[in-house]
Amino acid sequence: MDEPKMLVGKRVRLVVLEREHLDDIVKSWNNPEMRIYLGGYIPNSREQEEKWM
């Protein structure tokens, strides 16, 4: 049986992280306004995020 790849609610959509999401992840992670909520402080490169995935 295939596992669902997406969970959808009224205000959120959760998906399995894929390489196609990498650019958006890096952009959000390195945005100072978003970083407040993400809890990090060091800018991450695309390579660092790809290794994390």
pLDDT digits (tens, 9 = 90+) for 18-27: 889 999 988 8
pLDDT digits (tens, 9 = 90+) for 26-49: 888 888 888 877 776 677 788 888
Q: SS3 for 26?
A: helix
Q: What is the pTM of this model?
A: 0.58
Distance CA 52, CA 13 (A): 22
Question: What band does 4 get if pLDDT is binned at 50, 70 and 90?
Answer: low
Listed by start position, the domains of the chain span 18-52
Where do the H-state alpha helices sit in 1-53?
A: 22-29, 32-38, 46-52
